[in-house]
Chain A
Amino acid sequence: MTGYFVAILTFVSLAVLLGFALNIQWGQAGMINFGLAGFYGVGAYTAAILSKQGVDGVSATVAAIVTTAAISALVSLATIKLREDYLAITTLAFSESVRLVLMNETWLTGGTNGIRDIPRPFVDLVGGERYELFFLAACIVLVAAVYFLLDSVIRSPFGRALRAVREDDVVAATLGKDVLALRVKAFAIGGAVIGLAGALHAFYFTYIDPGEFAGFVTVYAFMSVIVGGKGSNRGLVMGACTVMILLEGTRFLKDFVPFFTAQQAASLRLIMIGTGLILVLIFRPSGLSSEYRLSSPKTADTTS
């Protein structure tokens, strides 16, 4: 039971990291990323492939972060002149292309068989039986570190400029902000966090295949952010927990309704997740918690 609890908390940490990434890309900069799963896959595969080649865990993680951030920056260039809808489709198309590469370039990615036996970092130091607990502790430390880093970014002048771009890029440009540079940076920062989450995913499961980086990952991340309140990292932690409890709680659904097959129960869970997302959008669009603002919310909230 402790093992199960540790596993759940590790999943929550990964979900929180993905949520942080979306929160800076979408929540702060207003840039929508429908291809999160693809970037996650890039991070995980970079870390996995390098580790298999004998690169140590920390360097592999750093490489995953840098690669994902660089690719994110490239993809975000699609918004040079355009509104955010185009970024949504570009990232989605990117994600599909990543999946195709993962499935077909067998020499690099192992194809649909995936990559097995990814070496875990520090496993010699920590030992096998306590490793899960150590890994959870590492995840929590990393989540905290990313939280404080992002928080300082969000409160910095850079963060304010980002929100200005989100609210009205023409005005921001008129005020002398380099809109494109701000957007590319924000997307790259988000990409770096996704890359970190991807590397942790690869090390935790020690096995990855293309099926794990499909659209549902993106939907979960959006769900966490929307439930938690777009733009609020503190709310996000609550949001990610709520989504994970929903996901894990409904896993036991099939014990209560035995007339469903496993496949049907799985679909039903996903239907509930999707419906939940739509209901939150309709009835509580601001989520559980609202975003950080400099002035008091009473006077500041004139944009909606």
Chain B
Amino acid sequence: MMQALLNGLVSGLLIALPAIALSLTYGILNFANFSIGAMITTGAYLAYLVNTTLGAPILVAAPIAAVLLALIAIVIQRGIYRQIRNADHITLLVASMGVAFVLENVIRFFFGADVRTLDVAVARPLSWNGLRLNHEQLLIVTVTLSAMALVAIVLKRTRLGRAMRAISDDPELAEVRGIERARTVDWTWAISGVLTTLAGVLIALDGIVDPLIGTNYLVSVFAAAVIGGIGNPFGAVAGALIIGIVEETSALAVSTTYRQGISFVVLALVLLLRPQGLFGFARIKR
């Protein structure tokens, strides 16, 4: 039971990164980015590419992949989402599903459906009072916590963060006050690209790289963001921890193949009982 709780916390931290990314883009652009799963996958494959073909160690490969995906995300924003930003948010949502479809199949085109692994050494798990924590999990904890701290600093302490929060609150007012929307949006996508790449690499380190690794987390990530009150990055972290723990502890009772099914049930319950999310505020619709 304690082991399941620990595993749940770790996998929750992992889900938290894309959940923050989802909340950030949702807050600023007012649409749910359904390509978040495909972005995780793309990040993992980019890291794999740099790691195995260029032979760079993963600690070097991951940042390079993160920068690459950040650039790709900005290109997608400028090439696609900005072109249709005047359409309703459902059109943007459908477009993001199209983007996911394209990204996933570009990966299949170049890499096929084969399962691959990153080129890293395998180490013995640490154990403490009967609780096991392997090195990948330790790495997940370190990386995710540092990334979250960085995001928090950016949001609370920098000019960019203030601009992001302002636009999220009231885009028109922000624009009137001279905040450059396009630049802020680009940066948001860049952060989103970095966070999803980190998540992709961590997932790949803990297991394998295949074209569905990100999509397999899509429902959990959305459930986390919705529980946290979508658009609220700090709520997303709490939501992710809840989802992680529920998924891992339910594995004691239900077959692990139903992990996504569990997220669906939690999501449906939250939507029915507390639709603004556990940490969101009910808003009056305009």
Contact = CB atoms under 8 A, between A and B. Distances in A.
Given A85-B31, A281-B95, A93 B223 contact: yes
Chain A interface residue bracket vs B: 35 or more
B84 A285 contact: yes
B269 to A, nearest CB: 10
Given A89-B32, A93-B222, A285 B257 contact: no
Contact of B94 (A32, A96, A101): A32
Nearest to A94: B264
A77 interface: yes
B80 A282 contact: yes
Contacts of B109: 264, 267-268, 271
Contacts of A273: 101
Given A32-B90, A86-B226, A92-B218, A104 B101 contact: no
A267 B108 contact: yes
Given A80-B272, A281-B98, A85 B32 contact: yes
B271 interface: yes
A215 interface: yes
B261 A100 contact: yes
A75 to B, nearest CB: 8
B193 to A, nearest CB: 18
Interface string B106-129: 101100110000000000000000
Interface string A69-113: 000000001101110111011101110110011011000000000
Which secondary structure dominates chain B's binding surface? helix
B95 A81 contact: no
Contacts of A219: 97-98, 101
B134 interface: no
Given A226-B94, A278-B80, A78 B268 contact: yes
A34 B96 CA distance: 12
B267 interface: yes
A275 B175 CA distance: 32
Given A81-B275, A96-B264, A271-B106, A34 B255 contact: no
By size class, the interface of chain B is 35 or more
Interface string B172-185: 00000000000000
B91 interface: yes
B149 to A, nearest CB: 28
A181 interface: no
A274 interface: yes
B257 A34 contact: no
A39 to B, nearest CB: 14
Nearest to B260: A96
A30 B90 contact: yes
Contacts of A78: 268, 271-272
Contacts of A271: 102, 105-106, 109
User: In this complex, which of B34, B113, B226, B271 has the most chain A Cβ atoms within 10 angstroms of its Cβ?
Assistant: B271
A263 B113 contact: yes
Contacts of A126: none
Contacts of A92: 34, 218-219, 222
A138 interface: no
B188 interface: no
Given A96-B260, A268-B109, A86 B87 contact: no
Given A89-B226, A285-B87, A82 B271 contact: yes
Contacts of A85: 31-32, 89, 93, 230
Nearest to B274: A81
B271 A282 contact: no
A213 interface: no
Interface string B249-286: 00000010110110110011001100100000000010
Contacts of B230: 85
A97 B261 contact: yes
A264 B175 CA distance: 45
B99 interface: yes
A123 interface: no
A281 to B, nearest CB: 5
A261 B226 CA distance: 41
B257 A32 contact: no
5 contacts: A30-B90, A85-B32, A85-B93, A170-B285, A264-B109
Interface of B: 31-32, 34, 80, 83-84, 87, 89-91, 93-95, 97-99, 101-102, 105-106, 108-109, 112-113, 218-219, 222-223, 226, 230, 255, 257-258, 260-261, 263-264, 267-268, 271-272, 275, 285
Given A88-B90, A96-B219, A277-B95, 5 more contacts: A82-B271, A85-B31, A96-B218, A97-B258, A285-B91
